[in-house]
A and B are shown apart, each in its own frame.
Chain A
Amino acid sequence: DGGITQSPKYLFRKEGQNVTLSCEQNLNHDAMYWYRQDPGQGLRLIYYSQIVNDFQKGDIAEGYSVSREKKESFPLTVTSAQKNPTAFYLCASSSSPTGWAYNEQFFGPGTRLTVL
């Protein structure tokens, strides 16, 4: 069964703690993405990676970090520097990097992070 898995589904964090969200895909896709979704704001791009060992900042990268050591894995760390981390986090992948040619992005089920 090919797809994208995210874990955990729900995550609670105390203020000042770093937490890491997992994203794994078995679609053999080169590119992976992290988005944040807040009510009424759609999806905003945090980081993306076009290839292993390479990643770029998206529109709202401050307070987040990522790594891409394996093709199938793209974990996101929400650091204590992120001022308002409570949100729904979505991971996505595409077979090749999004450029000017169409390339469908497939989404995982999401992780809901709540800061207590």
Chain B
Amino acid sequence: QKEVEQDPGPLSVPEGAIVSLNCTYSNSAFQYFMWYRQYSRKGPELLMYTYSSGNKEDGRFTAQVDKSSKYISLFIRDSQPSDSATYLCASQGAQKLVFGQGTRLTINP
């Protein structure tokens, strides 16, 4: 079993829709959870990170962690074509980051 599991998609939604991206993790010791955005043929860039359980909001993006169910979510409101990318969730353990498989998202105008 992978330590972080993510549905690879692909996911295609119309512009303006609310997008929900999800991951699960297995290691109870993980405390930090990140979402990276990766455009085609580019390196990932950090969107946001959260510590422990709870929500964190940044503009149209909301990250949510539920440690009781080991569930990580990213919500995108009012999605735009420029949001089309691969989204990677990651958890931080000792010495390294553990990444999910990445979900490829397309926002259709």
Q: Which residues of B contact A (CB under 8 A)?
A: 4, 6, 8, 31-32, 36, 41-46, 49, 51, 88, 92, 94-97, 99-102
Contact = CB atoms under 8 A, between A and B. Distances in A.
Interface of A: 4, 33, 40-45, 48, 56, 58, 88, 90, 92, 97-100, 102-110, 112
8 contacts: A4-B43, A33-B96, A42-B99, A43-B97, A98-B96, A99-B94, A108-B43, A110-B42
Contact of B96 (A41, A58, A109): A58
For the residues of B in contact with A, the DSSP-based class is strand
B43 A104 contact: no
Contact of A90 (B8, B44, B94, B101): B44
B38 to A, nearest CB: 8
